Amino acid sequence: MAVRNSRVLHRSLRETPPKVIGGEGVWLIAEDGRRVLDASGGAAVSCLGHQHPRVLAAMAKQASKIAYAHTAFFSSEPAEALADHLVGHEPGGLAYAYFVSGGSEAIEATIKLARQYFVERGEPQRQHFIARRQSYHGNTLGALAAGGNAWRRAPYAPLLSSAFSHVTPAFAYHEKRDDESESDFVARLATELEAEFQRLGPEKVAAFIAEPVVGATAGAVTAPEGYFRRVREICNRHGALLILDEVMCGMGRTGTTHAWEQEGISPDIQAIAKGLGGGYQPIGAMLASGKIIETIRRGSGAFQHGHTYLAHPMACAAALEVQRVIGEETLLDHVKELGRHLERRLTERFGNHRHVGDIRGRGLFQAIELVEDRATRKPFDPALKLNHKIKAAAFEGGLACYPAGGTVDGRSGDHVLLAPPYIATRDHLDTIVERLGAAVDGALKSINQ
Ligand code: PLP
């Protein structure tokens, strides 16, 4: 048997990543003492950076009281306080919170709640969910079936439910035709969504599910003006629910607590995760409208779902403190201001770059897309693995960012996603752009570009 230096089943079975031994604000410290600037918070997770003293203290305090109790027997102070904090003021009609351990679990809960709501309302025929191509909703089988990320779905396709179908994403850079205005594009997408309702039978559709700003699959893709209002109208007209996946783009990442606040609509059910606990504990949540919960309260009286670690007290305590810090330090104003700075810097560095076709995003959630030819938006050959090369070059240069491939169609296309912590400074952002520039140019050079 070949000698391996780790028994952990790592993401790559060919290499073992270095061990992280510490962190300090925006910095991660590797075992050899190297300091790496965390420009993507892992996968848009570490919104307060690393080792925030207030969050560590809140976790220690909770650990000294009670670390875990099963929700079949007890609620807990941090779970109650976190739910009050998130939905006590009923943002957009969202009135209840269901705490799970991450984004995929949150999405599974949204799908099941939507289905159970219709069963209990006497509309059991509503069993279809419409989602979008080039989206990601998680890796568990239900969430994977909902998502439209072609390469992630491919090996598991025979196991994925046919209850989910996919329409064109609101991805103007690739999907809007050159002779179309933005509003023509929105109208075309709305027509397609309406046609999908008609194909399935509008009375058979339970929900439409989408990321308000698409994350890792396509790279910080915001929808054109008016798109989500049209989507909301179509769902309302057919009595279907709108589920928004804010696992990555939510909890302040785009400058408002919820990304949907900037779209002039609100969902019936929402999933949040990464920025909720900022990585201090594994936690996600489903937020649901009062209307849905009241229907089930009057019906069976229980959401027929559950996990062992629902509303884990340690996770809720960490997330509550993360959210209090964001509120008390008015960090969302900072996210907006820093977001403008990051956009300016990215534009200065890459605006005229012959292989950067698009710079996009909102707040501290931005991306650059690499293309072989800017005029035609032709992507690089995926066999070149440009995004892998950029990631490696950036890491070598002391920068952790989030490059990914399959940007265009799940196969070709390369982008780099940035999601720095909300506590970053302008100087940090300048260093991020400088190091990213060097990594992009170095990687392009290695493929003779
Ligand atoms: N939904 C979106 C939009 C995501 O970006 C992710 C993770 O990247 C998920 C769901 C799944 O979350 P998790 O990896 O915590 O299960």
- Protein residue closest via CA to atom 15 of ligand 1: 103
Task: Using the mean position of ligand 1's atoms as its centre, give its distance from the Cα of residue 269 in Å.
Answer: 16
Residue 213 has pLDDT above 80, yes or no: yes
* CA distances, 365 to each of 136, 333, 340, 383, 436 (Å): 16, 14, 11, 27, 15
**For the segment 251-266, what is each residue's pLDDT rounded down to a tens digit?**
999 999 999 999 999 9
pTM of the entire structure? 0.98
Task: Using the mean position of ligand 1's atoms as its centre, give its distance from the Cα of residue 245 in Å.
Answer: 9
Nearest atom in ligand 1 to the alpha carbon of residue 102 is 15
Q: Could you tell me the fold of the domain covering 57-328?
A: Aspartate Aminotransferase; domain 2 (3.40.640)
**For the segment 115-136, what is each residue's pLDDT rounded down to a tens digit?**
999 999 999 999 999 999 999 9
Q: Which pLDDT does position 273 carry in this prediction?
A: 98
Nearest atom in ligand 1 to the alpha carbon of residue 104 is 16
CATH code 3.40.640.10 region(s) in the chain: 57-328
- Residues in contact with ligand 1 by the CB-under-6-Å rule are 43, 102-104, 107, 136-138, 211, 215-216, 245, 247-248, 273, 284
Question: Can you say how many angstroms the Cα of residue 185 is from the centroid of all Cα atoms in its chain?
Answer: 24
Cα–Cα nearest to 142, from 175, 105, 167, 116: 105
CATH code 3.90.1150.10 region(s) in the chain: 20-51+330-446
- Mean pLDDT, residues 150-161 taken together: 96
* Entry field: residues in the chain: 449
Nearest atom in ligand 1 to the alpha carbon of residue 143 is 10
pLDDT grade for 4, boundaries at 50, 70 and 90: low
CATH number for the region 20-51+330-446 comes to 3.90.1150.10
- Mean pLDDT, residues 403-427 taken together: 97
Which of 40, 211, 247 for mutating ligand 1's site (highest number of atoms within 8 Å of CB)? Answer: 247
- Protein residue closest via CA to atom 1 of ligand 1: 137
The 8-class DSSP code of residue 378 comes to B
The 8-class DSSP code of residue 261 comes to G
CA torsion 340-344-345-348 (nearest 10°) is 170
Nearest atom in ligand 1 to the alpha carbon of residue 284 is 15
- Protein residue closest via CA to atom 6 of ligand 1: 138
Separation of alpha carbons 407 and 386, rounded Å: 12
Which of 136, 153, 213, 254 for mutating ligand 1's site (highest number of atoms within 8 Å of CB)? Answer: 136
The chain-wide mean pLDDT, for the chain, equals 97
